[in-house]
Amino acid sequence: MRDFRKAIRKGYDIVHVFSFVASGGLLEDTNGVTLLGSELIDECCKRDVKLLWIANGNESNEYVNGFKVAGKPLNLIMTLNRNGTNFAEFLDKLVSRVAVGQTLPAAWTAPAPQADGPWQEKLPSCIFFAGRADAKLLA
């Protein structure tokens, strides 16, 4: 976790994490060092990160308990279920739209309409918090 925090301090627009989230919202590295999700959010906000994406499937309760993001200037995507290869396809569609200047909320709703329909079967299950809805991430 120390190296991870050091890397975030270098300044990135996107922090993409593939990690299990343990009880209480803790991320743990291979050495057993932990970082609370809310601490990660605070670190990202201090460094002007525009998007934090937890890409590994985790339980919603662990996100709710450990990732306190309300009122924070950060877009946060928390993956519940990657849904197999559908995750990569969704990521490609989202990044393609963001790369041409769409904001994350606009880019999100194009491949993931916010209504029930057959397209839901081809999407990963994620929670998206748009705490920086106007942020643009250009390639």
Burial category of 134 from C-beta neighbours within 10 Å (exposed 0-12, middle 13-18, buried 19 and up): exposed
7-56 confidence digits (pLDDT tens)? 999 989 999 999 999 999 999 888 888 899 999 999 999 999 999 999 99
Name which residue leads in pLDDT, 5 or 41: 41
Sheet holding 125-130, edge to edge: 14-17, 51-54, 75-81, 125-130
Non-local (6+) Cβ contacts of 65 within 8 A are 23, 24, 25
Can you give the residue ranges of every domain in the chain? Answer: 2-130
Per-residue tokens: 22: 């343990």
Local confidence band at 121 (pLDDT 50, 70, 90 cut-offs): confident
Q: Is 43 helix (H, G, I), strand (E, B) or coil?
A: helix
Closest CA to 126 of 35, 51, 73: 51
Position 110 confidence tier, pLDDT thresholds 50, 70, 90: confident
Contact 54, 69 (CB under 8 A): no
Q: Report the run of H or E that residue 94 belongs to, with start and end.
A: helix 86-99
User: Taking 80 as the threshold, does the pLDDT of residue 119 lie above it?
Assistant: no
Confidence (pTM): 0.91
Side-chain-side CA neighbours of residue 97 (13 Å): 16
